[in-house]
Homo-oligomer: A and B are copies of this chain.
Amino acid sequence: MALSSGSKAILIILDGLGDRQSKKSGWKTPLQLARKPAMDKMACEGMCGLLYSISPGVVPGSDTAHLEILGYETPKYYPKRGPLEALGANIKLNHNDVAFRANFATVDEKMNVIDRRAGRIDTQTARKLADALKGIVIDGVNVTVKHTVEHRCVVVLRGIGGDDVTETDPHENGKRLECKPLESRSAKTAQVVNKLAMEVYGRLMNHPINKARKASKLPEANMLILRGGGEYFPVPTFAVRFGMNATCIAAGALYKGIARFVGMSAPDVPGATGDGNSNLKNKLVAARKALKSHDFVFLHIKATDNFSHDGMCLKKAKMIEKIDREVIAPLLKAIGNDVVIVLTGDHSTPCCKGEHSGDPTPIVFYKKDNTRRDGVKKFDELNCAQGSLGWIEGKHVMPIIMNLTDRAKKYGA
C-alpha cells in the first residue's frame, strides 16, 4: 500500500478531559484550575475549538468516541465492546468470531447471580481458574477464555456469527443467568452461551480453589457472566484509509484493542498502567520513538478520566499539570514543523457527575511554523469555545489532521 507524503501527526487523547463548572469547584473546571503552560502555549500558537466526539449533547462511550475521532464512523465500523477488549487482550480475531467481556462471578444452584465479581477475586487466583477453562468446544464451536485483570476475562466463540443476544451479566446481583437470542441468526450463539455456562459451572464448582474459598467463606468463582457481545469483522486499515502507518501508545486494553481493530500496532509500554501512577515519562519516550518509525501516533492517557469518575476535581487538575509537565512540555520542545500535534479528550467526564457526559472537550491543532493562530490564550472549555474551529465532531478530526499534515487528497479537480 502506498503511503502519502506529508508531515507526521501525534494525536494525544486525555481520557474524560472535559468538565463542567460547578458551584462546588468555585465555578472552575479542572482545566481552568490547572497550571499548564505547555498546553496554553499550544492554544496560543494553534487552532482551537470544542470537540463533540459524536454530536452535540450525545454521551459517548469510550469505544465509540475513539472510533469516531480516528475516522471510523459508528455504527458502521462499531463491532461493539467485546471484540475491542479481545483485541486489547492480544487475542487474534477472525471474521464472525463473537467476543464478550466476562466476569468471574458467583451463582447458586439455581443459576442466580449472587456476586457479579466473585468477591472481587484477585488476578492471580482468577488466572488459575481460567486455566481450567481451556479447550472448551460446544456444539462444534471452539471457545477461547482469556483472563485479563482481577475478575475480568474475555470469552470468544469462534466463527459462530450472530451477536444479538441478551447479556448473561444481569448487571445486578440476585438475578437468574440466561441468554436469549434477539434475532434468528443469533439463536445458536444464545444456545452456546447457555451450554457454556453449564460447562463452566461443571469445571469450576469443585475446583480446588473454590473448595478453599468455600472453606474460607469467600464467594466461589463458579461462573463466567458475559456482556458487551459483538461480532468481529475486518475493516479497512488506518494506513489504507489515511495513508499513514500508525501506532498506539496506551496502557488500557480497550484503547489498544481499538488501535488494533483499525490496523495500528499497539505495543506494551513498560510502566504504563492506565492510572494516576502510570509512568508518563516512559510513555513520552515511547511516543517519541514511535514518531521516528511511524507517520501517526495515537497517545492515550487514562488517568484524567479515573479522577473524574471519582469526583476528584483537584486531583484531576493536578494530573493535568503532571501531563503538561511530563508529556506536553518536552514534546513541544522536541518537535519541529514536521509533526502536527493534536490535543483533546474523547469525551467529558464532569467531576460533579462522575460519569461520561455529552459536553464537548477542548481541542487544539498545533503546527509549529504554519497554522491559524486564532487568539485563544488558554486551553480550557471556555477559551477554546472562542477558537476558530468553533465546535466540531469526531468525524472532522482526521480530515483536519490530513489537511494540516498536507496529506489530504483534493476532492474534485
Write the residues of chain A forming the contact surface with B, with a CB cutoff of 8 angstroms. 20-24, 27, 29, 50, 54-65, 74, 78, 80-81, 228, 350, 352-353, 355-360, 369-375, 381-382, 385-392, 396, 398-403, 406, 408-413
Contact = CB atoms under 8 A, between A and B. Distances in A.
B350 A74 contact: no
A410 to B, nearest CB: 5
Contacts of A398: 57
A360 B47 CA distance: 12
B412 A60 contact: yes
Given A20-B372, A357-B403, A412 B65 contact: yes
9 nearest A-B pairs in the assembled complex, by CB-CB distance: A61-B412, A57-B399, A64-B412, A358-B403, A385-B388, A57-B400, A22-B370, A56-B396, A81-B413
Contact of A382 (B57, B61, B388): B388
A50 B388 contact: yes
A392 B21 contact: no
Given A61-B411, A411-B64, A413-B228, A373 B406 contact: no
Contacts of A413: 61-64, 80-81, 228
Q: How many copies does the complex hold?
A: 2
Contact of A375 (B59, B371, B382): B382
Given A412-B63, A413-B63, A413-B228, A57 B370 contact: no
22 contacts: A22-B370, A29-B372, A57-B398, A57-B399, A57-B400, A58-B399, A59-B409, A59-B410, A60-B410, A60-B411, A61-B411, A63-B412, A63-B413, A357-B406, A358-B399, A358-B400, A373-B382, A375-B382, A382-B388, A385-B388, A385-B390, A390-B390
A74 B389 CA distance: 24
Contacts of A399: 55-58, 358
Given A59-B408, A355-B406, 20 more contacts: A21-B370, A22-B370, A23-B370, A29-B372, A55-B396, A56-B389, A56-B396, A56-B400, A57-B401, A57-B408, A58-B399, A59-B403, A62-B413, A78-B412, A228-B413, A357-B408, A358-B399, A358-B408, A382-B388, A390-B391
